[in-house]
Amino acid sequence: MKPQSSKGTRDFDLIQVSRRNYVIELLRKAFQTFSFNPLETPSFENIETLMGKYGDEGDRLIFKILRSGDFMKSVSDKSNPKIKEIADKALRYDLTVPLARYVSQNSGKLSFPYKRYQIQPVWRADRPQKGRYREFLQCDADVVGSNSLWQEVEMIDLYSFAFQSLGISVEININNRKILAGIAEICGIENRLIEFTVVLDKIEKIGEEGIISELREKGFSLKEITKLKPAFRSFKNLNESIAFLKDWLNKSEQGRRGIEELEFVIKRVKDAGILKLNVSLARGLNYYTGCIFEVNALNVDIGSVGGGGRYDNLTAMFGLKNISGVGISFGLDRIMLCLEDLNLLPDGIIQFCDVVIIRVDESSSDDSYKIAQELRSSGVSVDYYPDIVKIKKQFDYAEKSGASHVIISESENDQDQIRVKNLITGESHLMNRKELLTYFQELKN
Amino acid sequence: MKPQSSKGTRDFDLIQVSRRNYVIELLRKAFQTFSFNPLETPSFENIETLMGKYGDEGDRLIFKILRSGDFMKSVSDKSNPKIKEIADKALRYDLTVPLARYVSQNSGKLSFPYKRYQIQPVWRADRPQKGRYREFLQCDADVVGSNSLWQEVEMIDLYSFAFQSLGISVEININNRKILAGIAEICGIENRLIEFTVVLDKIEKIGEEGIISELREKGFSLKEITKLKPAFRSFKNLNESIAFLKDWLNKSEQGRRGIEELEFVIKRVKDAGILKLNVSLARGLNYYTGCIFEVNALNVDIGSVGGGGRYDNLTAMFGLKNISGVGISFGLDRIMLCLEDLNLLPDGIIQFCDVVIIRVDESSSDDSYKIAQELRSSGVSVDYYPDIVKIKKQFDYAEKSGASHVIISESENDQDQIRVKNLITGESHLMNRKELLTYFQELKN
């Protein structure tokens, strides 16, 4: 009989909502400082807007919404209904396709480059497991409608700004699809670029030997692997890695352009010290056409807390061509874990109520409720215990609520001698009404 | 080819998000002052949690989510699949059933009375029309686990507090189910109470004559209608209406209790002047067991902007019995309309960017980007135009963006003579870097 929330979903209470809103507000502030405007799109889209945009696996993981009314009405073969016949809407799977839909639908009205941020939940029918949910918040910033490399510079600056405001030290891995294409060209594996990068992406997990044996399994020849080996190297610093790539990819025009792009960006960002050139970084290479970013938090084993890159043709799926853009996202759940692990959540972000009014008898109720009204008028958060029950029970309630104070309302008191107890220090004082108001007003400032 | 958002849904841009967040933040502040804590529940629940809780019409309007994978797997009769066979989850239809689910699921952990507010979207498969959407935000505050009438007092105070902070003048209609039951008792129509109140609820639309003819159609006798007539009266003020009801319902115990409850509440609320006793107010009477509230905004023709009341057995549907509570809700969309109609949205709630940096040539880019970085570090919101295009186009972009200033970056300038134009006043000044920083910092304070 006891009901359960649906698998892979979460309820958030005061503490969780407060912590999450703390992060969300800092991210909003960062987006706003970099002149991104908020956008909120509907939770569901027409099914044809989402289906076919994320590959077969994505299509499978999209939550589809049953047609209203007679859902079998449009089914042609009753024994074998097709998804699009019985479902006409689907829940947002990410924030990128809704952005593309919005930009295409409003292309005449928007001014480009169009910069928006979006912080909204998305839904995926993944198998729930530790740290993976079916409903989770995505936080994205995208700028579309310009090819300028200044936007890559700004995105990296935005990442540093945001993580600095959160107090999280990060390292930003960067790469460029053109460098990967250059490597493929130099090594003569142009038509197996994706295959190669999928393997290379695992280098931190499986090491150089692992990479070599996987490449062998995929049919790369020993000669090719020998040529590819410089891509497995790691470097002391940015300068060393750039110098090496310049030399290695000298004969590939694409490679040279990729390096130039990285140099343009590196030279201009505020904190080049946090950048690390990582040629194994691919992150859905099919999608990215220029710079690729991935942010890792230092001093904690959480994985990446953000990522993004340059893409072309965001809106081509909806017929609006040649819209290039750069998008980055922040992984809110991982950022939360990070802040908890590193103990970076400041005190005071949880707004517990300030005072619980504990009630000993009914005859003092009207007086103590007037105190509640006065305190609330001056912005103090007051909980007025509604029933006359054992004082112990009311104290327990107050302590569980996180309130810092209680006021004890009893008619034996002189009306101008109100007992106030500080639950944190344990101290207790008698105050008159005016002193009481002043005391709590000062507490709020 | 051009994609469309789904019928009955909305995209919200900078202006709309800012205005809505302004209202949401004031409501949060009000809830917090009255010691309600935030709760956020998942967007979807198991289908059996929601189905059967809102009547047949509600069941029809709930959006159901198709089972993942082979959705026909659990269907017994392939030619006639049942909803619960092919759908296992459903989108939140209101905030009340999720609250009941949450309280039942966590009853061992929560301390009662449990006070929560919740501001989240809900979804209904209504036919979209002006002002009615398939996705809209609900804002509810509920307290559950106590019978105390102090909670009715607090809810009315909360309503005044919240609408005062929004600057909206309101009138709060109150009624009590026990008064309606008393009327039914006195008039001998106990078993037709709901039927009667459904008709009575329309009195403002159809007037006394309309009510009488509808009651006749429903089979009420002339004798009964004559007895019921006092319920159609309107009164000058609270005292007059209470005095009349006391006399009229004197012989009904329920009626007397209803009046006592109202008197208790009226005597204690902060602004009794905004209360109006309205015996025609029923609002889903099946649900409410004590006081009933409805808030109307004055000076504007918008309809009710909030409502609520006392209910018993919120969680009985999930097997947890005897949990009484009071709940109120705020109609965000209507509140927005109200604020717009009455011109009550303050200036400055939309955070446009402060300055767009307009770029005349590439050679000054590095200098002007450094200015962007410095300004951002001190909290100024800066948009850095990414491309070197006609200055007219960049000015248009800046004006459309709502920025109050532009900085014109050109290499002819002495590096310490930067041109800043105020787009609101039209004034233009040359400043050195230090002056520029000071100027914008002052603008932010």
Residue at token pair 């009550």: B344
CB A368 within 8 A of CB A382: no
Whether the upstream peptide bond of residue B113 has omega within 30° of 0, thus cis, is yes
Closest listed residue to residue A35, CA positions, set B371, B356, B382? B382
Residue B413 has what pLDDT? 62
d(CA B445, CA B433): 19
CB B136 within 8 A of CB B332: yes
B80 vs A260, more confident: A260
How many A×B Cβ pairs under 8 Å? 251
For residue B331, the cross-strand partners are: B138
Percentage with pLDDT > 70 across chain B? 99
Would you call A376 and B157 a contact, using CB atoms and an 8 Å cutoff?
A: yes
Per-residue pLDDT at B419 exceeds 80 = yes
Instruction: Kindly list the strands in the beta sheet with B37-38, ordered across the sheet, starting from the edge strand earlier in the chain.
Output: B37-38, B114-123, B135-144, B325-331, B304-311, B288-297, B170-176, B275-277
B170-176/B275-277 β-pairing = parallel
Q: Name the DSSP letter for residue B132.
A: B
Looking at residue B285, its pLDDT comes to 66
CA B418 to CA B364: how far, in whole Å? 11
Say if residues A365 and A411 touch (Cβ distance below 8 Å). Answer: no
The answer on pLDDT for A298 being more than 90 is yes
Ramachandran angles phi, psi of B418, nearest 5° = -100, 135
Query: Which among B40, B60, B85 is the top mutation candidate for probing chain A, defined by the most A β-carbons within 10 Å of its own β-carbon?
Result: B40
Q: Which residues of B touch A4 (CB under 8 A)?
A: 46, 105
Determine the pLDDT at residue A413.
62
Closest CA to B154 of B143, B167, B139: B143
B33 interaction partners in chain A (CB closer than 8 Å): 376, 379-382
Q: What pLDDT, on the 0 to 100 scale, is given for residue A39? A: 98
The pLDDT assigned to A234 comes to 85
Alpha-carbon gap, residue A3 to B314, rounded angstroms: 13
Return contacts of A190-198, CB within 8 angstroms, 24+ apart.
Answer: A192/A218, A192/A220, A193/A285, A194/A285, A194/A286, A196/A220, A196/A228, A197/A280, A197/A282, A197/A285, A198/A282, A198/A285
* pLDDT confidence tier of residue A79, bands split at 50, 70 and 90: confident
**Pairwise CB contact (< 8 Å): B365 & A18:** no
pLDDT in tens, B213-248: 999 999 999 999 999 999 988 888 999 999 999 999
What residues does B309 pair with on adjacent strands?
B292, B327
Q: Collapse the DSSP code of B403 into the 3-class scheme (helix H, G, I; strand E, B; otherwise coil) and give the result.
A: coil
Tell how far CA A376 is from the center of its chain.
Answer: 35
Q: How many CB atoms lie within 10 A of CB A46?
A: 17
| CA nearest to A126 within chain B | B68
Decide if pLDDT at A314 tops 90. no
What domains are defined for chain B?
14-341 (3.30.930.10), 355-444 (3.40.50.800)
For A302-326, what is the mean pLDDT?
91
Mutate to test the interface with A, among B7, B13, B320, B385 (most CBs of A within 10 A): B13
Which of the four pLDDT bands, split at 50, 70 and 90, describes residue B199? very high
**Which residues of B are less than 8 Å from A31 in CB distance?**
none
Phi/psi at A428 (5° precision)? -135, 135
Which band of pLDDT confidence, cut at 50, 70 and 90, is reported for residue B409?
A: confident
**Higher-confidence position of A435 and A411:** A435
Q: Tell me the average pLDDT across A295-305.
A: 94
- pLDDT beyond 80 at A237: yes
Task: Please give the pLDDT value at position A1.
Answer: 67
B46-57 average pLDDT score:
93
pTM of the model: 0.95
Q: Is the pLDDT of residue A152 over 80?
A: yes
Cα B345 to Cα B137, B232, B339: the distances in Å are 19, 38, 6
Backbone dihedral region for residue B309 (phi beyond 0: left; psi -120 to 50: alpha; all else: beta): left
CA-wise closest residue to B354 among B418, B421, B420, B402? B402
- Please determine, for residue A192, whether its predicted confidence score (pLDDT) is greater than 70: yes
Q: Which residue of chain B is at minimal alpha-carbon distance from A108?
A: B2
- Asked if the Cβ–Cβ distance from B386 to A148 is below 8 Å, we say yes
Which helix or strand (DSSP H or E) is residue B117 part of? strand B114-123
- The helix (run of H) or strand (run of E) holding residue B84 is helix B83-86
Picking from B18, B41, B43 by the largest number of A CB atoms within 10 A of its own CB, the best residue to mutate is: B43
Tens digit of each residue's pLDDT (9 = 90 or more) over B129-186: 888 899 999 999 999 999 999 999 999 999 999 999 999 999 999 999 999 999 999 9
Q: How confident is the model at residue B415 (pLDDT cuts 50, 70, 90)?
A: low
Residues 6+ apart with CB under 8 A from A151: A113, A143, A310, A325, A326, B386
HSE at residue B196, side-chain half, CA atoms within 13 A, is: 25
φ, ψ at A104 (rounded to 5°)? -65, -45
Instruction: Give the C-alpha separation, A4 to A275, whole Å.
Output: 45
Which residues have C-beta within 8 Å of that of residue B156, sequence separation ≥ 6? B172, B174, B265, B269, B275, B293
User: Would you call B376 and A68 a contact, using CB atoms and an 8 Å cutoff?
Assistant: no
ipTM, two decimals:
0.95
| DSSP per residue, B296-336 | EETTS---EEEEEEEES-TTGGGT-----EEEEEEEHHHHH
Pair B354, B440: CB distance under 8 Å: yes
Q: What is the CA radius of gyration of chain A?
A: 29
pLDDT value, residue B383: 98
Mean pLDDT of chain B: 94
| Residue from the list B2, B41, B373 with its beta carbon closest to the beta carbon of A318 | B2
Quick one: pLDDT at residue B286? 74
Judge: B104–A35 Cβ closer than 8 Å, yes or no.
Answer: no
pLDDT interval class at B310 (50, 70, 90): very high
B87 neighbourhood in chain A, CB within 8 Å: 66
What are the CA-CA distances from residue A117 to residues A28, A31, A32, A295, A422 (Å)?
A: 8, 7, 9, 18, 43
Q: Which residue has the tokens 């007992």?
A: A419
pLDDT in tens, A258-291: 999 999 999 999 999 999 999 999 877 678 999 9
Q: Kindly report, residue by residue over B320-375, the tens digit of the pLDDT.
A: 888 999 999 999 999 999 999 999 999 899 999 999 999 999 999 999 999 999 99
pLDDT at residue B411 above 80?
Answer: no
A351-361 residue pLDDT tens: 999 999 999 99
Q: Which residue of B has its CA nearest to A87?
A: B66
Helix (H) or strand (E) holding B102: helix B96-105
- State how far Cα A288 lies from the chain centre: 20
pLDDT at A164: 98
pLDDT bracket for residue A183 (50, 70, 90)? very high
Q: For A350, which residue in chain B has the nearest alpha carbon?
A: B37
- Check whether B267 has a pLDDT greater than 70: yes
Residue A28 has pLDDT above 90, yes or no: yes
Mean pLDDT over B89-112 rounds to: 96
User: Which residues of B are less than 8 Å from A102 in CB distance?
Assistant: 5, 11
Q: CB pairs under 8 A, 24+ apart, for A425-432?
A: none
What pLDDT score was predicted for residue A359?
94
**For all residues of chain A together, what is the average pLDDT?**
94
Question: What's the DSSP call for residue B5?
Answer: P
Give how far Cα A414 sits from Cα of A60, B125, B181, B274, Å: 70, 59, 43, 33
Instruction: Please tell me the distance from the alpha carbon of residue B326 to that of residue B311, in angstroms, as a whole number.
Output: 6
B401 to chain A, closest Cα gap in Å: 8
Cis peptide before B346 (omega within 30 of 0): no
Strands B37-38 and A170-176: unpaired
- Min Cα distance A369 → chain B (Å) is 8
| B134 vs B417 pLDDT, higher one | B134
Angle at A77 between CA A71 and CA A78, to 5 degrees: 50
* Range with lowest mean pLDDT among A84-93, A387-396, B157-166, B194-203: B194-203
